[in-house]
Structure 1
């Protein structure tokens, strides 16, 4: 395979990284990565693994001492490794100052953005002029696991979330020497303060009633109270899971999916009048008008066989699709579809294409979780509310 070449502008990269709003989560990741780097330095100095008997051993491990270190994001506390004779010293502080944080932060940004381990190694060599092993990069990226896990399990009982949105996308993962398809379940919500929030994700096998039930149960275990409205596509297993896990919650069939389902059943030509009348239904501002316009369309085309399939879809899904009309006018356009969640899936997909096939399920969870955290912190955290 021909290696990919990267032409990086270090100043542009540094500006984009340093101007980004990084919160406690990323700050914690920096601590983990720096600690890991110092651990690798001590291993190299000793020339022996823990408890290994070796003639090459230079000294023995002697625990750690804590040291506070001030960076532009604030103070961090690091665990600095020690040896018995005290001759080992780390150069991480000198390196970190020399790189002016661009190395560590760019690594985090690259991992979250789906850059492969091999490419990360290549880019860091360009940034720093030094070789970094793929195994070191892999070990550092795995340090993100506890951060993503903590985020994905955080309590959901601090606010009430009247509107929940759920969807699934598919990825490819290596499992037992085979490439298999797995579903990534993602949930977002709108709080009682009209703010969007990304709840988290689950990677499981193909969509089914059981897998959707497990995902919704996880949300409940984290403290999610029954929402007023849950918006999703019309997957039968998901509908059944919603009915069982959230008794009394209204299900809203995604308005955008429903319209596409109808249009997909239309004949290829000569359907302009049908489309115009269907559009009038969905542009109505009153429930009564929607029902009236629907009946007019049914009467107009019920005798024409070529429209039979489209009319059946309209009749079958209409009531589930217009549930958003029972919500306040100011909220209707936000809760009637999963379009926002679809756009979020596209962000995940754009980065996931770099990976193509994940080496295992945990790596998929790590990357996609990192993307969702990144999006929550960089985009949603700066929006005061949906309604101004």
Structure 2
């Protein structure tokens, strides 16, 4: 865009200060010299605080919680030549929506960060307001309107998950679509993958909700023919009672259902699991997939889980992809993993080594390259994609 200079300031407009994103923003400030402002609609919710989600720590990022109208206006005014605004979920987050449309009128440069639209009948965690449900239903048409009217001011779209990448290409964003995800911190530089516990242990971490599909997992476990395995499901929600009732009828293995674990305890429990399962009917990303892989644990996710891209056709083998809501398909895949037994330690170490690409600092490097692409630089691959091949000189 003529008249604009290099981007030096990034203003993120999102729903809350999640640890799935904070590390990336901190690395953008620390490693790449950006001035980073994080404007969020609300602070960490009581529910997530109770689950042990880490609080945001000051790390060179300016956090603005629940900005008043005047504060938001100030962030959108001035310094147009060096600022890029990144709006997360403009059809689901009122703050992001207001910032986007106000910023468009002011002539701001924007990027979008979005998951795929929720399918009809699926609800976000905690439900959504009537206005957001209406907007969600209209989103495919509304996205095309946004593309047609504001496409020149939107430099790129960060599409969170496999389904979002496909959806935003359909919406007409073309080469401006870049695959993206959520990037919680890994277990640390000195971490070594651990030997899987005996017996073969399947782990589920999440809500007992229709969208998350814990009931599909329990039904699949009832159809598994293998013997002597163990499944531990941690979470809470409206389907917990049904899952407990079904689990009590399973004979081939032991199924335990527990309340959710605080995040740090969940990560520690995850380290010795044989297999993590994400049985979602719909999941925009599914952060536990990356959290498991960074600890060397293979994952079975559904084809309606955005982070399936991390295990689909993977080398080294990092898991498998099951058909969403298909009890027989998930049971078949679980049976095959149980019959093979726990993965050898060296293969778990290979998974953890590969998954270092998912560390927040690497996601920040990638986002910096995407920003540079928007200003004429080379197009980057996502952190989890192989680096582009370079031609070798003849000898």
TM-score normalized by the length of structure 1: 0.26
TM-score normalised to structure 2 length: 0.25
Q: Which structure is larger by alpha-carbon Rg, 1 or 2?
A: 1
Structure number having the greater helix percentage: 1
The higher-RCO structure (CA 8 Å, 6+ apart) is 1
